[in-house]
Amino acid sequence: MNDRNKGSKLSITSALLIGLSAVLLVVSIFFPWWKMLFYAPQYPEGLNIIVYPNKLKGEIDIINGLNHYIGMSNFSEENFPELGYLIYLISGLAVLTLITAILRNKKVLYGLISIFVIGGLAGVLDLHSALKKYGTNLDPKAPIHMDPFVPPIIGENTVANFTTHSILGTGVYFVIAAFILLLIPVWKDRKR
């Protein structure tokens, strides 16, 4: 192996970290990625919408019934086409991450990190777009008139007598940990 190829090779430790990153991506599929928690005097225990990469859970029927009064569209898996393919994108990213671990090539790792960043930004923009659509396309004939609003991706929002808390789910923390594991070899093998 010549010196040029040797300089582009990642250490075995880095390859193991990248392999662990692939495992964390797969694990993330089984946990919620995002949640909205709704609290009001009549629901002190709270209602929630829990978003997994492939399904919605929570008290969605109750929330949809309440949202009807302000003219908001129903939350449903059919209204989020991403839930039909997101799990495949994550699985594909896990496979690419595993291939990167096997190849141990710095340039491939840089490409993988770029895919993570682009995918993360696309996911944030997609979620913001969905929240904007739900909060601004209110039926003007609804029983209760509300000014358009955009729920935050992370944070608190008050609509009528409901306070909503938008938080990241455990699955996203696994993805963030996977991304950090990819960055460690960049620093660790910088002089290799």
| Res. 2: pLDDT tops 50 | no
Q: Find the distance separating the first CA and the last CA of the chain, reported in whole Å.
A: 14
What is the C-alpha separation between 97 and 168, in angstroms, rounded?
23
pTM of the model: 0.89
Q: Each residue of 62-96: pLDDT tens digit?
A: 999 998 899 999 999 998 999 999 999 999 999 99
Residue 32 structure tokens: 């919620």
Q: Would you say the C-alpha torsion 100, 103, 106, 108 has a positive or negative sign?
A: negative
Task: Answer for the pair 151, 157: CB distance below 8 angstroms, yes or no.
Answer: yes
Q: Where are the domains of the chain?
A: 3-188
Sole residue written with tokens 């990167």 = 100
Q: How many helices (H) and strands (E) does the chain have?
A: 6, 5
Average pLDDT for the chain = 92
What's phi and psi for 40, nearest 5 deg? -155, 160
What is the C-alpha separation between 59 and 49, in angstroms, rounded?
6
